[in-house]
Structure 1
Amino acid sequence: MTDMTQTTAARLSGVGWRKSTFSNPSGNCVELAELANGLVAVRNSRDPEGAVLVYTRPEIDAFLSGAKSGEFDDLAL
């Protein structure tokens, strides 16, 4: 990969994707995968071969900490 911030799932063969148990049955969710280099990939579950964003561990930690503390609650339905 030349650009580690965005790629496609097709270029990330062999990674183990997972989604939240809170995901709805229609599959409208995001999936995450730990990459061999310690980065974390995120994709749309409805487009499994499509675009993937790649984040560092500190970026994921900052997002999860914010989500847990309610910083993004205004974005929920």
Structure 2
Amino acid sequence: MLALRLEKELEERIARVAAARGSNKSTVVREAVIRYLEDQEDSVLAQRARKTRGKARTIAEVRKALGLDR
């Protein structure tokens, strides 16, 4: 469980979104946090991919590394 304090304006915005969706504030915040974390994780993966640029492998090399070529 996590408790946090939000500015009144932000809490009101969350409440409006929840009401428009027929949901509750906890669900709106939970889903927003999940989306944010997924975006951050994707960003980390993209940064790693950029760092390994130039180390691309052919499909044949990947298949061989995975033991799929028989």
RCO higher in 1 or 2 (8 Å CA, sep ≥ 6)? 1
Higher strand share: 1
Max radius of gyration: which structure?
2
Whether TM-score is above 0.5 comes out as: no
TM-score, with length taken from structure 2: 0.29
TM-score, with length taken from structure 1: 0.27
